[in-house]
């Protein structure tokens, strides 16, 4: 065929417009448009057809669109054999491109929610550490904060005395085909005995020197709470660790535990302690890390978690309360 010149393109466009109005007059155009529009509708049609119907429609659109574009690619042979006017080939090309675009839109509609859903299923959860978690937790803390923690054996003895002292923050990623969990943070809240409280007041006790006799069991009221071991693998996880720690302390305050102690080891830890109202037990110490700081008010665990004939053992009640406060992670 001869090359089209701009004037010929104008003629083809005019013919296409006349063809469109001819279809409108016989009501074929509105019928086709209404059928396709209702078929790919995102409202009630989507509910009726379901995802499989949209997939089938996308396959047919791709197939027919590719066929029409292929026909236009060999238009010389078709014009020679069928004696088709150029306007028909132009319409075939337009319809083929539109069908490909419809298939692309359907693909986006079907797969975009999956991508959004996958991104939204990334959560951070606090988990109460069990005995079998202590070794991994100890390695994690030493990896990100150095080796100034108590020994693993000491941790196990504390955990045996009170299983509700070590907490992990885990990142959960639930994908379409598999789920993953990763340890990204940790913190420790130790209920202490009256002996430990007196030692903390003198500055003679730290998280490293804690022994089981300093840890209050779930069977006895705590004289105070000692906060230590705030660790995060990155900036975001440290934010979650601090958030869950504050939430946990508010819960403890509801139980009557208001007397808090901590020994910040870094300038960031000292800054956080002062921000939340902690002050040094020794008035001569000002703005110094590796010193005991406290935040005081009435303390003690209410009788609701102590032994009684109706509620059972204090240890069982205490652990049940902890499990409700911190959802157990899927194993």
Are residues 90 and 113 located together in one domain of the fold? yes
Backbone φ/ψ region at 254: left (φ over 0), alpha (ψ -120 to 50), beta: alpha
Are residues 46 and 126 located together in one domain of the fold? no
If one counts the domains in the chain, the total is 2
Burial class for 99, CB neighbours closer than 10 Å (0-12, 13-18, 19+) = buried
- Domain end call among 68, 89, 119: 119
Distance CA 317, CA 80 (A): 90
- Domain end call among 71, 92, 119: 119
Q: What is the CATH number of the domain that holds 248?
A: 3.40.630.30
Burial class for 21, CB neighbours closer than 10 Å (0-12, 13-18, 19+) = exposed
Are residues 253 and 310 located together in one domain of the fold? yes
Distance CA 203, CA 197 (A): 10
Are residues 140 and 219 located together in one domain of the fold? yes
Secondary structure, 3-state, 45-89: HHHHHHHHHHHHHHHHHHHHHHHHHHHHHCHHHHHHHHCCCHHHH
Per the DSSP assignment, residues forming a β-bridge with 227 are 189, 262
Specify if 1 maps to a domain: no
For residues 72 and 93, the answer to whether their CB atoms sit within 8 Å is yes
Domain of 115? Answer: 6-119
Please tell me the pTM assigned to this model: 0.56
pLDDT in tens, the chain (331 residues): 444 444 444 444 444 444 444 444 444 444 444 444 344 344 444 444 467 777 788 888 888 888 887 777 766 666 666 666 777 777 878 888 888 888 888 888 877 766 555 555 778 999 999 999 999 999 999 999 888 788 999 999 999 999 999 999 999 887 666 778 999 999 999 999 999 999 999 888 888 888 999 999 988 889 999 999 899 999 889 999 999 999 998 888 888 888 999 998 888 888 888 888 899 998 887 778 888 999 985 433 333 333 333 334 444 444 444 444 444 333 3
- Domain end call among 73, 99, 119: 119
């Amino acid at each position: 065929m001869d090359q089209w010149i701009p004037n010929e393109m104008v003629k083809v466009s005019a013919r296409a417009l006349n063809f469109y109005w001819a279809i409108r007059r016989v009501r074929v155009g509105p019928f086709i448009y209404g059928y396709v529009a209702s078929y790919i509708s995102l409202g009630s049609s989507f509910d009726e057809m379901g995802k499989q119907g949209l997939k089938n429609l996308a396959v047919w659109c791709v197939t027919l669109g590719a066929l029409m574009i292929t026909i236009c690619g060999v238009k010389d042979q078709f014009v020679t054999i069928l004696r088709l006017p150029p306007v028909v080939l132009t319409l075939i090309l337009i319809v083929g491109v539109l069908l490909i675009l419809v298939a692309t839109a359907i693909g986006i509609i079907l797969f975009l929610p999956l991508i959004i859903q996958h991104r939204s299923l990334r959560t951070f959860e606090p988990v109460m550490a069990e005995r079998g978690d202590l070794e991994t937790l100890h390695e994690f803390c030493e990896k990100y904060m150095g080796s100034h923690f108590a020994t693993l054996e000491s941790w196990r003895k504390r955990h045996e005395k009170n299983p509700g002292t070590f907490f992990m923050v885990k990142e959960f990623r639930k994908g379409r085909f598999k789920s993953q969990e990763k340890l990204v943070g940790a913190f420790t809240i130790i209920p202490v005995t009256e002996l430990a409280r007196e030692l903390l007041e003198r500055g003679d006790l730290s998280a490293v020197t804690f022994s089981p006799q300093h840890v209050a069991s779930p069977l006895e009221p705590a004289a105070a709470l000692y906060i230590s071991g705030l660790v995060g693998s990155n900036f975001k996880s440290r934010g979650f660790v601090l958030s869950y720690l504050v939430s946990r302390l508010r819960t403890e305050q509801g139980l009557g535990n208001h007397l808090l102690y901590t020994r910040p080891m870094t300038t960031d830890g000292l800054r956080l302690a002062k921000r939340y109202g902690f002050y040094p037990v020794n008035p001569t110490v000002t703005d110094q890390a590796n010193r005991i700081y406290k935040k005081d008010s009435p303390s003690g665990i209410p009788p609701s978690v102590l032994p009684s004939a109706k509620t059972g053992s204090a240890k069982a009640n205490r652990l049940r309360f902890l499990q409700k406060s911190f959802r157990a992670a899927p194993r």
